[in-house]
Amino acid sequence: MAYTPFDLSGKVALITGGNSGIGLGMAEALVQAGAAVCVWGTNEQKNSAAVGHLRQFGEAVHALRCDVGDEAQVETAVAATLERFGRIDGCFANAGVGSRGLPFHETPTEDWQRVIRVNLDGVFYTFRAVLRHMIGREGGGTLVGTASGTAVMGAPRSEAYAATKGGLRSMMLGLALEYGRYGITANSIIPGWIETPMTEQRFQDERFASNVLKRITFRRWGTPQDFGGIAVYLMSDAARYHTGDTITIDGGLTKS
């Protein structure tokens, strides 16, 4: 008998911030593994482009415009996802915004709140709405939060971003303990420096690139596709006993 725990046929994945970067890399792999995928994003053009791209790999793909920092929009988008696909088996909270890089003592309150609103409040709104669905049915579910190396390392001029990612990591640990009884797993992923729209400007800084690349074992930046395998694994039956973990995928950066 063939070993097929990574076959996601019949399962549905929801990915916030799924229209580009790491989220889109996850979506590609999930569709290829047989899952139906709904991506959320705030940019309609990027949503449409993502759907067109993902349909190279499978037809069960949909996109919704949703600002995860808006509680009402999240509730509406979860309902629309369920109406479209009938279920949500895996939820990947991946949407996020970065800090502006200002000195901490010069950071305006509105900048701090802007990052908290999306990166932490947005995860809360999303998981809360999805959990109401998951605990009301058999089969459990998968929750995955995209954290950051800033959750475990100091990040000057990025304290707001780091605070949200550290908070997300702690949130996942609590969710793992609270909802394991329902067969729901909860894990976080810590990416390293990945080629995404958020990091494009940093990578153009030759001094920064030189200093960081030499600390990465593979001497290259990560790509969104480097996160496809972990997405499939965490949503698969192979991971049904894997919860409360923080999984680092950074090319060895934090070990250097």
Residues forming the active site: 161
Dihedral-angle region of residue 151 (phi above 0 means left; psi in -120 to 50 means alpha; beta otherwise): alpha
Do the bridges between strand 90-93 and strand 246-249 make them parallel or antiparallel, or are there none, so unpaired?
unpaired
Do the bridges between strand 90-93 and strand 61-65 make them parallel or antiparallel, or are there none, so unpaired?
unpaired
Per the DSSP assignment, residues forming a β-bridge with 38 are 14, 62
- The token pair that represents 208 in the structure block: 């920064």
For residue 56, give every residue at least 6 positions away whose Cβ sits within 8 Å of its Cβ, in sequence order, or none: none
- The token pair that represents 126 in the structure block: 């999303």
